[in-house]
Homo-oligomer: A and B are copies of this chain.
Amino acid sequence: MRIALDAMGTDKRPISDIAGGVLAAKEFGDTIVLVGDEAVIKAELRKHSISAGKVEILHAPQAIAMDAIPTDVLKTQAASSIYIALDAVKRGEVDAFVTMGNTGAVHAIATLKTLRRIPGVKRPALSALFPINNHRMIFLDVGANTDVKPEWVPQFAVMGSIYAQLVLEIAKPRIALLSNGAEDTKGNQLIREGAKLLRNSRFNFVGNVEPVQLMHSVADVIVMDGFVGNIVLKMFEGTAHYLATLVRQEIRKDALSMLGGALARPALNRIRHQVDTSEIGGAPLLGVNGVVIIGHGQNSAIGIKNAIQQARRAVKQNVIDAIRQGIARERP
């Protein structure tokens, strides 16, 4: 298998990216194709010992900035690592693309310029894997579509469900809609109409869930609009970060608490481990003609390796074909 990895994705580009790629190449035995400026990649690769053939370089002179606006990117960045890598997936030169780069740019270039939508897909969806109690849920959409139409909801459910089954290895994924209350009468217009569509189908729809229920792993595929999804993820991260800061502040205020904090450090570290989404590495962009895994710019080498592992599984399990068939089945 050949997996393209954006060498210019993380905030610490290309250091973390290449370290993650090398880790994956050693562990999985696939060829990792590092996409980015050849000279920069070669210089960085010298720090690693890796046998020839395990890692290749695909030259791309441009790197898309984290804050670049997708519409600008579409016009000017055809020589970027993201563009060139997605084009390589499209032409079948690699089997998948993994990046920690600009999500909006990946989404725009994949959807509008390179891979394009799977036939019948109204809108591709960005997903996120949300780790609670060592159980992974897939959330979608988390940012590609800020205003979602009810008829897209069953498609998001199909795509998320197939990914959960084939890659996350959940035998019969439970689908839920994120809402402000568990009853079908709750929710905004999108959720109420979406719930109707899911009820009137053969989906494994378990109903609407509230944020508190998310923490009890009551479902596997959580469908929401991209505006809400993005805010929910950031609210989780923001709250966790805020509380961690409070713990550090308050523990320093008296000597006994400080000692207590030091003693409890192993426990606190285990918690950080459980909450930290960077271990997951990334989540798929679903609905385009190719495997694309997007991760956070702050990912470490291990996170990147884990993102690559997801890409491998998705390729092995023929996720794209399964989605193609799933979407075709749902077409009216």
- The residues of A with any CB-CB pair to B shorter than 8 Å are 69, 132, 143, 146-147, 178-180, 185, 187-189, 191, 210-212, 214-215, 225-228, 230-232, 234-243, 246-247, 250-251, 253-254, 256-257, 259-268, 270-271, 274-275
Q: List 17 A-B contacts (CB under 8 A).
A: A179-B227, A180-B227, A180-B230, A180-B234, A187-B227, A211-B237, A211-B238, A212-B234, A236-B239, A239-B240, A240-B243, A243-B271, A250-B271, A256-B263, A260-B262, A260-B265, A260-B267
Closest chain-B Cβ to A263's Cβ sits at a distance in Å of 3
Which of B215, B238, B263, B274 is close to A259, meaning CB atoms less than 8 Å apart? B263
Residue in B178, B191, B231, B246 whose CB lies within 8 Å of A180? B231
Which residues of chain B have C-beta atoms less than 8 A from A212's C-beta? 234, 237-238, 241
Taking each of A178, A212, A225, which has the highest tally of chain B beta carbons within 10 Å of its own beta carbon?
A: A212
Give the residues in chain B near A147, CB-CB below 8 Å: 188-189
What chain B residues lie within 8 Å of A271 (beta carbons)? 243, 246-247, 250
Q: Which of B69, B230, B242, B264 touches A251 (beta carbons < 8 Å)?
A: B264
A187→B226 CA distance, assembly (Å): 10
How many angstroms between the C-alpha atoms of A232 and B235 in the bound complex?
A: 7
Complex-state Cα separation, A256 to B265, whole angstroms: 9
Taking A239-B236, A246-B274 as contacts, is the C-beta distance between A143 and B261 under 8 angstroms?
no
Q: Is the CB of A267 within 8 A of B241?
A: no
A239 to chain B, nearest CB (A): 4
Closest to A224 in B: B231
Shortest distance between the CB of A73 and any CB in chain B (Å): 14
Closest 5 CB pairs of A and B: A260-B263, A260-B264, A257-B267, A250-B267, A180-B230
Contacts of A227 on B, CB cut-off 8 Å?
179-180, 187-188, 191, 228
Instruction: Report the separation of the CA atoms of residues A274 and B212 in the bound assembly, to the nearest whole angstrom.
Output: 20
B254 touches A146 (CB 8 A): no
CB proximity of A92 to chain B, nearest CB, Å: 34
Interface contact B232-A231, CB-CB below 8 Å: yes
What 10 additional pairs, Cβ within 8 angstroms, besides A211-B231, A214-B238, A231-B231? A191-B227, A210-B231, A210-B234, A215-B239, A215-B241, A235-B236, A243-B243, A250-B271, A251-B267, A261-B264
Whether B215 pairs with A242 at a CB distance below 8 angstroms is yes
A267-B261 CB under 8 A given contacts A180-B143, A188-B146, A231-B178 = yes
Contact across chains for B267 and A247 when beta carbons are under 8 A apart: yes
A275 contacts which chain B residues (CB < 8 A)?
243, 246
CA distance A274 to B266 in the complex (A): 25
In the bound complex, CA of A189 to CA of B147 (Å): 7
Q: For the complex, what is the distance from the CA of A228 to the CA of B147, rounded to whole Å?
A: 13
Instruction: State whether A231 touches B234 (Cβ < 8 A).
Output: no
Closest to A248 in B: B267
**Chain B nearest CB: distance from A246 CB in Å?**
5
Chain B residue with minimal CB distance to A261? B264
Give the distance in Å from the alpha carbon of A227 to the alpha carbon of B188 in the complex: 6
Output the nearest chain B residue to A148 by Cβ-Cβ distance: B188
Q: How far is the CB of A196 from chain B (nearest CB, A)?
A: 16
